[in-house]
Structure 1
């Protein structure tokens, strides 16, 4: 027999697998677009990825699926290329299953968050803790194997975790074999009358492999509810090759229909049959009709300011006159030779004192640590120059004014004045930082924003804030900045209308309920009083400081936009939300061009810079 004519079914499967392969490569998963307003202007040196992206096009398990498809294709090609394969029985492959899984991916409700993920019917951590009580090493290993929780594979985790899809390619013939085995046990049981025989294997109630798989799926779903709820995911059981009413009477058995009915009575959504092969066309694999429509994202009329923005509001970079060129921007923060020498001697003195305190002896200094401090100073100078160039492209205050003005016109009740709020911790930390390293004008602006004398009039504070600024007085109605009362941060009744506000609130509350930890590079206790101690971080995610999470919570619980210049923290908190399976988009039913409130508004950072200017003190 001609090799090309042998195994026609395998040739067809290989063709379909090639289409699956091409479809996976061209697949563009649905990417929820969170209502985040990004006003930052990244420079080429900016290494921080877009916070709203965060590997948005990555689906856990997609790459392993592609690799499995490629391996099976290679096996099939090798077999069919063998001249002797025409005389061999058909090759057994996973093609039928892989093709069915990919069709489910294409048809599933977005966003899809995982493929081929294993869930557990029981608490894995509890089982692992129990294993630790074993005796010898071999005994522990045996105990671990015995108490290992049952894993249940879910082929497609869709609808942001709300739907589990399990593909099963069992044919009627396979289930009929089970039935024959069950019947044989029942026959043997009826024939056995000797009481000395062991217990019977006959069923006391109807059961089979599909029913057991269904119970395992439901048990795992109940034990893995949607994050923050007690709601179990919906389980879809796709039976691609099971037919309760086959045309071939040799494959007919009433127990097949009974099995399907019992699966549905359990609470499973049972879907029968294979999907159309046309779904595998590359153009059909991109879920374009389900992509979020273009939206107009605007800040709310009340805006929550975090610490990074408070620093930006008083920064010399924000208010000082702008240099004419990029070269002049770098020159502004190029330290003089005398300053470098002073900084180096100060660094050496500090290192010497630290070593004296830690060792009790004056070990020699070769200047290397001092040089490291100067190198860090150079990096800081370059960063300030880059921030200044961003300010030259679009000033932070100018961007805020334009966005707020547009937002005021977009709201249904007409133009309104913006109102700014912040937390007491952000205010206090801002004042401590500025008192330590701020320049005279930066300290002046901070004092205007948060005066020690409560009797100072608003007009006097506004004059003080805008003094020596390149902007005219009251360019932006930033004053007064209101401070949230202490009880505000503990509020848990969200007034927000978008899922992301509620998701952000829930994530912040969860993080704050966990332990905090000192920053990994926190100063020793003996230096903390004299220097600015690094902020406490969340033990669950050291990339997030406690005060940042608190600020985000204060905005989320009221449905107010949080304005931040901390792009890395936004990325980290979005990752926390996604990791908990929480929504990061607006939800369904939005229309193109609809105006929506920004949950987070990101601007470029502006560090305290007055003390680093080359003409400082001149």
Structure 2
């Protein structure tokens, strides 16, 4: 093969490689990504790993190398020799396709904590548990290193004549493979990961060396090098022994709820709220009119007589718009329908519902102040069956299925034990919740007394001016990256964190091996990001996937607003009818 044809073949291989990576990036296989054990009917993929870090950058380098080769081929005087990076690029991609899932990153730079410099990891696999390093060194290059080392130790050593006998007696075996391996091990051991995640293991892929060549190795120090690498705890892999790439994996089975359900404060409110139980609007007009007052303008006089004003709906406020949107979602996927069907599909006929004492103490303060009579009764019936049937007057009365006997127990008063984490998800999410709780400060002691009514407003104390940081570098100091391949984030006091009771509910459910039911989608997503879930973590779940978190749509207390609107609009319409009758009567009399 001529030099020109060899270079043309390299160009073809680079273009093929680029096309394959582009196709992969266009639709990253679901089996290569991490899907957490979270139920969310409306947003099922909101918390899943979205892609592979660094792969776009890797593709850019492939394109760059391909462009250089194409330019050389188009040159009137192409070089006789040109060393391309094809072997290295192809080796990384081939190792990537054979790495355990979830696949987290390509070409990631890992800092060596407490030591200068960094190391480059070619593939981060198994949710960060495995670092893959691809080395394209040839046996001839190793022989050069051995000779250089021998000549340095003993200037009288004749490397050409004694190559078969190896190094001089007493010399420590060293070469670039061993040096690189030790740097990788050092970086992996110092890698700061969230509690519950193990230190990364190293897999070393040699693309141009064979473990047992037919003619043997030219120097005994080559197999000795392999032995040293394995003694260091490295998994050694030879590309010559590779089989075909791993077959495509399918998306894991959907998570199912546990029999024990821990309720967040937001869901307790949604279970009691009017929109969950009141008959739904029959059309768009009824939906728009549910929470908006009817207004009547002034009468107008024209040459043709006096015209009565036409009633019209008041403009939306932020509150009415939110209530309208929540009701619209309830029409799409009713909360009780979602709970009943998911639990029944999991074979759960008698679910057990729980909440923390903190949530139990906060509920009356909200319901007693802004809830309607039926909402207040439901809030009491959830904890005290003597109050009466929770479903009385509800559109779900007689159709609640496995929720018919719903009752909530306080975790601290029941027998819901705490357990050690079962999987990486449990450990990382619990660790992030604990860090956020610590950053948020102490919690307010829960109370079962209703929140007192409004008091005379007082002027808030004047805030002291906070010292300004000098520059962005100072502001960011002490805040580590959110990337799961690097140390966990440090939460400064100014961070906007989820509420403490939400975090404590999440933590209680994770520790109890229950399913946390919440509609605080934003809080869940923030915790997932900080735990590295959306970037990919180890998938150690086996068998039936028990849902750790179950997210439903939010619903606010709305009874007072609906009743207020109904009464107002009834008066307005009655006034319109009376006005029309009076006008007709006056005309007849004249």
State the TM-score, normalizing by the size of structure 1.
0.70
**Using a 3 Å threshold, how does the CA distance of structure 1 residues 184 and 89 change in structure 2: closer, same or farther?**
farther
1:484 equivalent among 398, 411, 417: 411
Contact 2:264/2:518 (8 A) holds in 1 = yes
- Residue 544 of structure 1 corresponds to which residue in structure 2? 498
TM-superposed deviation, 1:157: 1.0
Distance 1:472 1:559 in 2: 31
Contact 2:40/2:552 (8 A) holds in 1 = yes
Q: Does 1:333 align with 2:305?
A: no
1:318-346 residue CA offsets vs partner (Å, 9 max, x unmatched): 1222211022101212245599xxxxxxx
Contact 2:424/2:537 (8 A) holds in 1 = yes
Contact 2:276/2:336 (8 A) holds in 1 = yes
Contact 1:517/1:539 (8 A) holds in 2 = no
- Residue 46 of structure 2 corresponds to which residue in structure 1? 51
- Residue 312 of structure 1 corresponds to which residue in structure 2? 270
- The DSSP-based 3-state class of the residue aligned with 1:563 is strand
Q: Does 1:462 align with 2:412?
A: no
Counting matched residue pairs gives 493
- Residue 345 of structure 2 corresponds to which residue in structure 1? 406
Distance 1:528 1:232 in 2: 55
Q: Does 1:61 align with 2:28?
A: no
- Residue 365 of structure 1 corresponds to which residue in structure 2? none
Q: Does 1:291 align with 2:250?
A: yes
- Residue 351 of structure 2 corresponds to which residue in structure 1? 418
1:164-221 residue CA offsets vs partner (Å, 9 max, x unmatched): 1101111223222222322332344899xxxxxxxxxx99533222211111111111
**Using a 3 Å threshold, how does the CA distance of structure 1 residues 487 and 391 change in structure 2: closer, same or farther?**
closer
Distance 2:11 2:59 in 1: 14
Distance 1:439 1:17 in 2: 69
Distance 2:556 2:380 in 1: 17
Mark the runs of 5 or more structure 1 residues left unpaired by the alignment.
43-48, 124-147, 192-201, 340-373, 451-456, 519-526, 532-536
1:96-141 residue CA offsets vs partner (Å, 9 max, x unmatched): 1111000010000101111111223333xxxxxxxxxxxxxxxxxx
TM-superposed deviation, 1:417: 1.8
Q: Does 1:176 align with 2:143?
A: yes
- Residue 72 of structure 1 corresponds to which residue in structure 2? 65
TM-superposed deviation, 1:71: 0.8
Distance 1:324 1:580 in 2: 39
Contact 1:299/1:404 (8 A) holds in 2 = yes
- Residue 521 of structure 1 corresponds to which residue in structure 2? none
TM-superposed deviation, 1:579: 5.6
- The DSSP-based 3-state class of the residue aligned with 1:173 is helix
Q: CA RMSD in A?
A: 3.8
Q: Does 1:82 align with 2:75?
A: yes
**Using a 3 Å threshold, how does the CA distance of structure 1 residues 241 and 149 change in structure 2: closer, same or farther?**
same
Distance 1:599 1:382 in 2: 32
TM-superposed deviation, 1:72: 0.7
**Using a 3 Å threshold, how does the CA distance of structure 1 residues 528 and 290 change in structure 2: closer, same or farther?**
farther
- The DSSP-based 3-state class of the residue aligned with 2:39 is strand
TM-superposed deviation, 1:273: 3.6
1:104 equivalent among 95, 112, 126: 95
- Superposition map of 1:82-231 within 5 A: 82-85=75-78, 88-123=79-114, 149-188=116-155, 205-224=172-191, 227-229=194-196, 231=198
More helix by proportion, 1 or 2? 1
Contact 1:512/1:538 (8 A) holds in 2 = no
State the TM-score, normalizing by the size of structure 2.
0.73
Q: Does 1:512 align with 2:479?
A: no
- Residue 36 of structure 1 corresponds to which residue in structure 2? 38
**Using a 3 Å threshold, how does the CA distance of structure 1 residues 617 and 378 change in structure 2: closer, same or farther?**
same
Mark the runs of 5 or more structure 2 residues left unpaired by the alignment.
159-168, 298-313, 444-453, 459-489, 569-590
Larger Rg: 2
**Using a 3 Å threshold, how does the CA distance of structure 1 residues 528 and 108 change in structure 2: closer, same or farther?**
farther
Distance 2:533 2:37 in 1: 18
Contact 2:419/2:513 (8 A) holds in 1 = no
- Residue 164 of structure 2 corresponds to which residue in structure 1? none
Q: Does 1:12 align with 2:9?
A: yes
1:442-479 residue CA offsets vs partner (Å, 9 max, x unmatched): 333324335xxxxxx624x234x444433326943354
